[in-house]
């Protein structure tokens, strides 16, 4: 009978260890899941890089609701955009550009401009 209790204790310990391992793997996968959307709300300074800042003018502002963005240029131009990943933006309408979000919160646009957050 002592032998059966020892076997049950060993099986229980192995089961608990297995469940703990699964829990850790699940937590690691959850941490690797899609990151929260970047906070892009704010005012940006447009810098020619190499193209001039024709669409936005000297500055632009972005308002954000989740992955949806609204971009407004200093000259009154407006465009809707979507945060397509943690580092990319797709802007439609009159802007019609793709953006790459840099670690310093600047955005490199496919129209040849760079916006720096102020």
Does the pLDDT at position 62 exceed 70?
A: yes
Q: Please list the residues that pair with 101 across neighbouring strands.
A: 107
What's the whole-model pTM score? 0.69
List b or e across 84-105, with b for residues whose CB sees 16 or more CB atoms inside 10 angstroms: eeeeebbbeeebebebebeeee
Domain boundaries, the chain: 1-33, 42-117
Q: Are 60 and 43 in contact (CB under 8 A)?
A: yes
What mean pLDDT do residues 36-64 have?
Answer: 92
Q: Which tokens is 38 given? A: 């970047």
What pLDDT does 60 receive? 97
- Output the average pLDDT for the chain: 79
């Amino acid at each position: 009978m002592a032998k059966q209790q020892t076997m049950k204790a060993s099986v229980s310990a192995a089961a608990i260890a297995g469940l703990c391992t699964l829990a850790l793997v699940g937590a690691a996968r959850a941490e690797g899941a899609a990151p929260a959307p970047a906070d892009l709300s704010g005012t940006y300074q447009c810098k020619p890089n190499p193209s001039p800042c024709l669409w936005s003018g000297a500055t632009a502002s972005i308002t954000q609701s989740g992955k949806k963005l609204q971009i407004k240029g200093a000259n009154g131009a407006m465009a809707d955009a979507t945060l397509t990943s943690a580092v990319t933006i797709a802007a439609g309408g009159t802007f019609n550009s793709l953006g790459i979000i840099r670690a310093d919160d600047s955005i490199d646009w496919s129209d040849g401009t760079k916006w720096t957050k102020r």
